[in-house]
Amino acid sequence: MTFKSLRNIRDRLTEAWHERAIVLKAISFAFVGLINSAIDFAIFSFAYYYLGLPIIVANTLAWIVAVTGSYVMNSTITFAAESGRKLGFSQYLGFAASQFAGFLANTATVWCLVELAHIPAWAAKVVAIAVSFVVNFSLSHFLVFRTEKPKADRGQS
């Protein structure tokens, strides 16, 4: 590969990033999610294994902390163009409310795998994080951080 072709690839990726292509948003969302998943996993493990909290209580505590970090990072990185990189309490509440579906999917998955399938809690939590990723990204992209199309694009005058 030549320097020129590498520069061309970089330029195309930069352009796609600035256009906020859905694939790049998903990648960014996944990176933010990795960070928040580590936080979620650590808090869940601490609360469940060390503090002895019930599985649903431990998962709820972990989710509240992780969703807060996710809101901040996704507002300022992944969906910066849509949010204007501004944080607000009402926007946070909207984000948290939309992510509640992911929380329910996460909690149901971890509970079912531990209680019904007898999978270790740490392994169930890993699966639950993957399940909730799909739900959370879809809601974030299509509901929370969507951009309004100009009236002309919607067929209105």
Enter the DSSP assignment of 157.
-
pLDDT digits (tens, 9 = 90+) for 84-143: 888 888 888 888 888 888 889 988 999 999 999 999 999 998 899 888 888 888 888 777
Which of 2-6, 23-27, 32-36, 125-129 is predicted with the least confidence, judged by mean pLDDT?
2-6
Evaluate if pTM is beyond 0.85. Answer: no
* Model pLDDT for residues 32-47, shown as the tens digit of each residue: 988 988 998 999 999 9
Q: What is the DSSP letter of 1?
A: -
**Could you give the 3-state DSSP secondary structure of residue 2?**
coil
CA 53 to chain centre: 25
Confidence band of 157 (pLDDT split at 50, 70, 90): very low
Write down the domain spans for the chain. 23-146
State what percent of residues in the chain have pLDDT above 70. Answer: 79
Tokens 């009402």 belong to which residue? 90
Residue 150: the pLDDT is 53
